[in-house]
Amino acid sequence: MSTSEPIAQPPRRMQWKPAVLSAIHRLVSQTGNAVFTRQQLIENELDEIVRQTQSIGKTPASTMDRVHQELVREGKIERVVDGVFRFLPPSERTVVVATTSDGGASPSSGAKTTASVVILQPRNQAIRSLMVRSVLQAIQRQVTKHHSEIIFKDQMIHEELDTVISEAHCKSINPRSVIVSALRDLCRLGLIEKLHNGKAYRMIVRNQE
């Protein structure tokens, strides 16, 4: 009596929200930075999201944008500026009952890693991503204030240092060096461009809607 071959099962279709959230997990794990851009996610993960969801629509990027909005409302990611987001590990998430609050999350021992998701756990990584977010917002304020996409590092530090340190909850004994490190991260993310050997920077991402 012949043994029949097992019938291969078609891949299970994922819903859009878990597919997008998994893609964000993969991206931040690969880059080592909780801050990511919409364009990064499209270039690196959109094809995989479409494959997992078995989407046949013509505008998957628009669907992904709607999911982003839902994830922001649920407190799983944070919108930094237009087209730029920050993944929030569980230790920084809050449960929204009726209203939202801008208050910072209390420090904890860090997020635990599950079997299928790699989450940025070290506390200094969370501080680093907060600083990147705060410096990017400071750059946007400088761009608006001075009506120029070129910002000068020393001028920004002079005008924004106290605000950035407060927003990022940074207690470094050398906050200038932490800001310079955040500027390097933003360059690697493709959000700013270094000019004049690091004395100035040009804003690249302002609106990716």
User: Each residue's pLDDT tens digit in the chain (209 positions)?
Assistant: 555 565 555 557 889 999 999 999 999 989 888 889 999 999 999 999 999 998 877 788 999 999 999 998 888 898 887 888 988 876 655 433 322 334 444 434 444 433 233 333 334 556 677 788 889 899 999 999 999 999 999 999 999 988 988 887 776 667 788 888 889 888 888 888 999 888 999 988 554 44
Sheet strands (E) in 53-209: 77-81, 84-87, 150-152, 192-195, 200-203
CB proximity list for 6: less than 8 A, separation 6 or greater: none
Q: For residue 99, what is the DSSP state?
A: S
3-state helix, strand, coil in the chain (%, to 5): 50, 10, 40
CATH for the stretch 16-93:
1.10.10.10
pLDDT at position 126, please?
Answer: 61
The whole-model pTM stands at 0.54
CB proximity list for 207: less than 8 A, separation 6 or greater: 82, 83
CATH class of 124-203: mainly alpha
**In whole angstroms, what is the distance from residue 152 CA to residue 163 CA?**
17
Where do the CATH 1.10.10.10 domains begin and end in the chain? 16-93, 124-203
